[in-house]
Structure 1
């Protein structure tokens, strides 16, 4: 019995030593309300308590294991730095190719008689996840999308997407951006998702639908202040979402916001890592076999 207890505590300590992901405030709130356990704030205390319960000889072995883990983490940190440098190098090499693609798609060169109509709209539609966010009216607006760009925010602090539009009847902005700010603890954790405020033309807001009010029979006055409510739209991507402080939301609201931010970030990653670098394949429907399942498995 004592042997099983020692093994159980040893496994627990090793698992805790590998816990390095920093969660946003709203996630911390959710985890803190589960049976009073809060891993984020009590990991150090639990380490000490677990170590104190172990026999001295096992405690020494755990110290050795933690030292091995520290060496592994150091190497892993170097790996992430080298990978980031390699990615940055190739991003520079990709840019001339993206520039050529832009000129062809948008008929920039005089010898090009026609561009490629609905290029980005079609590429986005052919991705299962992004297509799930598109409404019929969104597609009318996305016909004016002429370029998508991506850039890193500082060093592993997140990334920014830029959507460049031709003049259109829906909104005034020429460029809409979405910036994802992340915390780097081996794997990025999104803390903020900051979008451009869209300057909609009157009656053209695609993120809200107008609710029709039935006038009362005895009233001849029509209510001109029509009510609206949020609706599904790709352009909700440009909403700004921030991880709130614990006191700001109850558990249900925090859970809902967590879902929205995870979904938001997933779409941003798909656009950056899949659609943008392989746009013509998505336009032709050639990449649709790499669906959301393969994306979540890391096959990018």
Structure 2
């Protein structure tokens, strides 16, 4: 039979599933604790926990954290058939083995013995449907492919914090809203199919906007490096039609530059047309 071993305020207890009121203590623990006279978690503690509206209580059973210690993936037993797997900002591996409270609408997690030490929940990988469903305050779960990329990136230290934030942002709202050029460049390598094409186009528009505003077109090379050869050539043609930017892809060190006439004039930036023209 599955039971949960919890530590709280210096005491410990075995609880029968599910986690939550009425917090049924396993009979074996009752007998052993009575014989040993050891500390245990008081019923009053469980009463307070049950009174917290919307609070999800669980035990952190495992973690994955990258070399930069940001972010952390936590696997939390919540007394259901499936564990809750969330992504927390910062290093949170110290929570492993602890009894924690999750406040969905505030999107925070904290040790139950110290609610003043809270950490921000930035994403949900998977979990029981009643916890991650609509109206709970937690994001919808990531796809299996997205979760795999994030977990592998954290394990091997290959996923930068910027890439991670971009992936979560895309999961939450797609390409709508305001995106920085650096975020888009970080996102593109992780997408496929139509989402890849949309992200490439959005990034190309951001490249034109940055060049028109600041005269810096170097990000065009960064985007070109992320594209397969056929699409890279189409991107070069797209730039020439909608801007004065030209790519030199023939050299080992690829370059982007603004083509100017002798009098310093150049082809205009046609942003409106570029926004409705696919690459």
Higher relative contact order structure (alpha carbons within 8 Å, sequence separation ≥ 6)? 1
User: What is the TM-score when the length of structure 1 is the normalising length?
Assistant: 0.24
User: What is the TM-score when the length of structure 2 is the normalising length?
Assistant: 0.25
Q: Answer 1 or 2: which has greater helix percent.
A: 1
Q: Answer 1 or 2: which has greater strand percent.
A: 2
